[in-house]
Structure 1
């Protein structure tokens, strides 16, 4: 043993009890490389071998020192009163304790590591999961309120939403036919790069789509493209992600976002390109509704070079029957929605 390397041979007298009911028996105690050897003093016959690292003192600080080789079942004991032997055994015990694992510390360390890992996971995962959950369970009215808040913020950049009654009446009549039941369409004076889908199945487009075209086809196609490009749940999730976790918690508990939670989101939204659907699904939907793709494509690229597929695959160029989206009177009222 390293702790006893200064001793070439260490022996002392001791009193050994093999079992709790056995009488004490004189023995010679000697220290080996890793064992404590108890021998008969008359015959030198070994009576017992104790593993040094497993020895436990039962009466710290008292003399004679009382040791056992098995703390779980301390039936076998040894009494030693020789100071040098006691010191040698105690050195071994101290050296053993310093190397022995500390289960309590290990468990505590593992608990701390696990807690830190969980906390880190919560910081990374929980906010996103909470926002996804809130977007998934939000009732339509709540989602529409968020959409109206986003629209109000957009209006800070584009000017107030156009509200001429005759034009809005046309939009209210058109919404179920173009963007679906329970949807709503609003127009703002400035361009918004096509049409945008907002939470609550709310759509907004710029007046430029109405004022610079001969008919409603381009505006209708933009609204359909906005519907196909992103789901209503995703629009709500994006808005709530901008609002932040605390705002989402308030929405889930009190039913409303804090005032100003979406301030600046409208401008952020307009600074990004409008989401675009794949050509295939868009062309299929336009063909089903009898709406031409070329007027829409020309608003994206007047030269037609980057939207050649939409123009060449326009269902109205390939035998499709154009639908009558609005009457002339309705179209005129819609074009004037921002007037006055």
Structure 2
């Protein structure tokens, strides 16, 4: 039995069967993937910040969605890249808990922000005359703060409960620290951890139901006018694609972590474990950047201006 308060490190075994040649190729692909994530999310954030026309609730929420992607992926990619270059894949107990906290708050905050974006579109399309009186700067600020603080509070409780466990091992069969993997190492009952964990999971997947219900009302309202249909196709379709992207990726990882088959190859397990840290952060800003004409035009204008400035220099 190992008391969690005295445990110093965990060993991550996701890369144990990876050869040196595979590690080099995987390092190159991972570095490319992380670079793309930094580029596309950073470009959209800078575009929203610099372009005054985009200082509206929908784009502020979108900017926060991209910032959240940078926040969450920072907990995985640098450590994973380092592990690919080293012979061991160990992580400190504190670092493991911090990685769990950041990755889980990233996933939870994604759902919170997508719910805010659904609420914003509902007001814009169903109550257009009241939009500016409802979505004031003060309310938008409070909503953004709430969307970040609540996940932090929920996951702080999860991590504190995990840190109190008595563990019978320190071997984690994944590429990164994941709460369920630590719970499986517990020597004692984890009933309370499971109960609270499922409450958090159901609460955030309840956000999905809220979004879908709001879209039922949106569709009914949008069909009444040509302008409503235009707004729906322009701003709601990318939002639904992002929701589907995040929900499918995260649900797949959560369910596979608990009920997945042990006969699946390690490489497939690794991909299943990291796809929600890879696919949504890349696709979300691309979907919005391509679909929203105002974002796309603003980015192209800023890019053109920067090239002209460099040319003059």
TM interval, short-chain normalised: under 0.3
Question: TM-score, length-normalised on structure 2?
Answer: 0.24
Relative contact order, CA 8 A, sep 6+: which one is greater? Answer: 2
Question: TM-score, length-normalised on structure 1?
Answer: 0.23
Structure number having the greater helix percentage: 2
Structure number having the greater strand percentage: 1
